[in-house]
Amino acid sequence: MTWEMLVSSALFLFFGFILAGIIRALVTPDVLKSMFGRGRFAQIFRASLIGVPLPLCSCSVLPVAAQLHRSGLSRSGTVSFLVSTPETGADSIALSIKLLGPVFAVIRPVAALFTALISGTLVAILLPANNTKVELATLSPQKKKALTLVERLREGQIYVATDMFPELAYYLFWGFVLAGAIAALVPADILESGLPVYWQYPAIVAFSLPVYVCATSSTPLAAVFLMLGVTPGAVLAFLLIGPASNMTALVVQKKILGLKGTIIMTVTIIITAVVFGLLLDYIGGGDRIMSAFHPLAAGGGEHHVWYDTAAGIIMGSLMFYYTLRHYLRKLKKRMAV
């Protein structure tokens, strides 16, 4: 199952990362800061909208958000940016098209946008404005020499190849491996007995909060959850909660937003994700449109053309290499102590 998902999605992953590099080239830090506006609610809307396509995961979004907050973005606008950005992105949307289907690929960023809008609005209403100076890593300074469009596009692809992909490869590798292991070890009819929906949602929330899953690496897991009979709505809740509210990010978010801001944001994400999930289950009608959410299962014994297989081999080899490098660096650090 791991190989099947990898081969089916590798080309979409490559396309997603290329698109992420283009967005990186066009949306520079200076451009990003100028896009937010001044009013609190204008900032909330723009931060929510801008964050949807940006190629930043749960960890890499933190220094960017900290710098934007220091540069004048309100706490509520920062919350919206911290919610919509890691929940989805160009790479995860491209992967969703193949593994979850076009319907889910549309619903996912729309739900992320509304979750960010609601989170930012609640923070704006419940907490007064603050001017806290956040001492975290900031955005890389702009080069003095203005780059041409071609140079920026080339730099964007270099960033993806040398920074973004190596960072995400480790999580992607284990995302695919874990998804394949769950599909192989967990009986496909485990939920046929009719596990109530109200048990699925608490289980998804409990699973999502403690573990780090970026938007891209959570996608193969979501595909397997659908195969095992988890409702599309509960899977959507997993895709919204995991990338934005994992324990790794919460510690740093507390420093950026304060304790109250972090609590309001996290609780809002959970409640909103569950509400959107229940609404999706109600509208979706279960098995009636499951094939739209579950293209891999619908395709069953799909035969892949040579370039799908080649892309799978290349993507799998790169993910394995960077994962191995990750552990070798950890081992080297431990031996140096």
pLDDT in tens, 268-300: 999 999 999 988 888 865 555 555 555 554 444
pLDDT of residue 122: 92
Q: Do 170 and 322 meet the contact criterion of CB atoms below 8 Å apart?
A: yes
- Average pLDDT of span 12-19: 74
pLDDT of residue 267: 92
Alpha carbon distances (Å) from 268 to 52, 59, 79, 231: 18, 20, 11, 21
Q: What single-letter amino acid sits at 216?
A: T
Q: Give the span between the Cα atoms of 36 and 42, in whole angstroms.
A: 7
Q: Which band of pLDDT confidence, cut at 50, 70 and 90, is reported for residue 112?
A: very high
Q: What single-letter amino acid sits at 248?
A: T
The yes-or-no verdict on residue 139 having pLDDT over 50 is: no
- Average pLDDT of span 1-5: 68
pLDDT of residue 29: 61
Q: Name the nearest CA neighbour of 56 among 119, 133, 139.
A: 139
Least confident range of 221-225, 296-300, 304-308, 321-325 = 296-300
217-252: per-residue pLDDT in tens? 788 888 888 877 788 888 899 999 888 876 666 766
Q: Give the span between the Cα atoms of 239 and 230, in whole angstroms.
A: 13
Q: Do 257 and 80 meet the contact criterion of CB atoms below 8 Å apart?
A: no
